Structure 1
């Protein structure tokens, strides 16, 4: 870690990180993989956020558990990155997802608030040159590992397993 001298009372620390990047490629066509992923996972939606605003915590917890389903993950946001490429003249089949589990995130941020930087996780799906599909993401444990907290490391390892298992399921032809 390096630290710049304070200026106007502000300090900036810089820490280099080693991140493990994952690429999962399948011959399964992009539309099929996209549909499988989006239909398999629940969504973090405005209904859940409204329950939170109303402080109906038990109902929030139950709704989050339902959204996470058997995979233990839910979609928080879908980014149509391939559509945005129309700004450069040609759309492509590519979608970015924020995927996670708020209940896991709360456990991690309860230990270290900065863990919220990586929760939810980012996953990109795109059509590859062979006509199949590719997922890319950064391994959760390599992101969260910087905090050096055993509880965060335990949850991050669980996210590693859950995310890979999910992407294998939806990518299987």
Structure 2
């Protein structure tokens, strides 16, 4: 157990945040939506990380722009949540994604490093009860808005638009 006298230099604060949660339902089957999303967006992969380790900054910048493509977003990580349900007896159709743009994240975290808490963004895709698909995510502007920084707010608004547009494109039957 920690001695309370050892905590004299530590400060803990808690804030309540209001988030706009977005749900996009489509009759389009899960496999089609998943394939469409993963083929549309580029990937942040180890080759980009290797360039960063080698300090090849301009090559990193070019690779990040290429990965972000026309939608301005790339997949950073794919979480196979449906597969993990095998631990409860049956796999499901659900995937979590970390999606973002490192160049935008750098702009935000250069203003406030805590913005890295929400960059990249989390999106979940799952098969819904009707046999179609559902995307869910928290609107970036409501996550980043807590920092009260105009530059972060500006980029968050761009992320709102880009994320919503790409998810609608891949969800449209």
Matched length: 169
1:9 Cα deviation (Å)?
A: 1.0
Give TM-score scaled by structure 1 length: 0.96
Q: The residue matched to 2:168 in structure 1 has which SS?
A: helix
Superposition map of 1:10-159 within 5 A: 10-159=10-159
Q: The residue matched to 1:70 in structure 2 has which SS?
A: coil
Q: The residue matched to 1:111 in structure 2 has which SS?
A: coil
How far, CA to CA, are the matches of 1:31 and 1:39 in structure 2?
A: 12
- Flag as ranges the 4+ runs of structure 1 deviating above 2 A: none
Q: The residue matched to 1:145 in structure 2 has which SS?
A: helix
How far, CA to CA, are the matches of 1:80 and 1:99 in structure 2?
A: 15
1:7 Cα deviation (Å)?
A: 2.5
Q: Deviations over 1:110-132 (max 9, x none)?
A: 00000000000000000001010
How far, CA to CA, are the matches of 1:9 and 1:150 in structure 2?
A: 31
1:164 correspondence with 2:164: yes
5+ residue gaps in structure 1? 1-5
How far, CA to CA, are the matches of 1:102 and 1:13 in structure 2?
A: 28
Q: Deviations over 1:38-89 (max 9, x none)?
A: 0001000000000000000000000000000000000000000000000011
5+ residue gaps in structure 2? 1-5
- Calculate the aligned-residue CA RMSD, in Å: 1.1
How far, CA to CA, are the matches of 1:97 and 1:14 in structure 2?
A: 27
How far, CA to CA, are the matches of 2:23 and 2:165 in structure 1?
A: 13
Q: The residue matched to 1:158 in structure 2 has which SS?
A: helix
Give TM-score scaled by structure 2 length: 0.96
How far, CA to CA, are the matches of 1:20 and 1:7 in structure 2?
A: 35
1:8 Cα deviation (Å)?
A: 3.1
